[in-house]
């Protein structure tokens, strides 16, 4: 008979509120399986902390992920800064900084987290569980950063960097090349809206068939939209369309 998955055990804890169930949940084998699968050397204690949302922490008085998230953000920034420095030695500091910001965003980190099935390991409170908070981009991105902090603390920067880029190749292949190509039009549009309106353009996307309906908004007004195979390609093409056709 197969063992209950982590979220099944979480539902049991919500129902019975047994301290023994809490202890078992925090030692659940799904965490150990993840560590083993990715070759991560880490005792389960701090690793599990990376998956504890504040809502779960408040209900069960265990340490949440936020401090680890703070450290993980810094680790991620350093990894990407060094990589961009090596890949694009002739680019300006300002351009590299903007490119890094375009890459390290909530959507991209959530994509990595879903690829790794981190949503199946996140512990949230009872009400938040009903709302599927564990599968929201913000929570997934924060959890990814918290997890990266633990990996760095226990395995070092070289291991963390290598593991991160292996995940990047799997779930966001070609991200450096595609982001550099997309960056020009999006960056130019940002500069144009900042100069004219003192605000940034906003992109929204919803799944539509096999692609995404992407909309571009400026000052609360929808300027244009289109359906594209990916969010990033849509954002780039809409920005290009707006600038070439003088739509702002």
Task: List, by residue number, the catalytic residues.
Answer: 73, 145
Residue that has been written with the tokens 């702002």 in this structure: 248
Which of these, 20, 11, 47, 13, lies nearest to 32 by C-alpha position? 47
Which of these, 15, 9, 6, lies nearest to 34 by C-alpha position? 6
CA distance 206 to 200: 20
């Amino acid at each position: 008979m197969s063992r209950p998955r982590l979220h099944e055990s979480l539902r049991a804890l919500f129902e019975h509120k047994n301290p023994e169930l809490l202890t078992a949940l925090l030692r659940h084998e799904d965490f150990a399986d993840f560590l083993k699968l990715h070759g991560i050397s880490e005792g389960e204690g701090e690793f599990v902390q990376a998956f504890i949302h504040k809502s779960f922490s408040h209900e069960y008085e265990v340490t949440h992920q936020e401090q680890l998230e703070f450290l993980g953000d810094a680790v991620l920034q350093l990894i990407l800064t060094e990589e961009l420095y090596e890949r694009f030695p002739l680019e300006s500091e300002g351009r590299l900084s903007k490119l890094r910001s375009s890459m390290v965003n909530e959507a991209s980190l959530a994509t990595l987290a879903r690829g790794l099935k981190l949503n199946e390991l996140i512990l949230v409170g009872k009400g938040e569980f009903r709302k599927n908070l564990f599968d929201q981009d913000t929570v997934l991105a924060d959890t990814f950063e918290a997890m990266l902090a633990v990996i760095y603390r226990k395995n070092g920067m070289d291991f963390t960097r290598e593991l991160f880029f292996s995940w990047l190749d799997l779930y966001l292949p070609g991200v450096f090349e595609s982001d550099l190509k997309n960056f020009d039009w999006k960056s130019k549009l940002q500069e144009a809206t900042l100069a004219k309106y003192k605000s940034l353009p906003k992109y929204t996307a919803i799944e539509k068939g096999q692609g995404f309906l992407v909309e571009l908004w400026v000052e609360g007004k929808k300027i244009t939209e289109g359906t594209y195979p990916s969010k990033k390609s849509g954002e780039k093409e809409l920005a290009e369309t707006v600038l070439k056709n003088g739509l702002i």
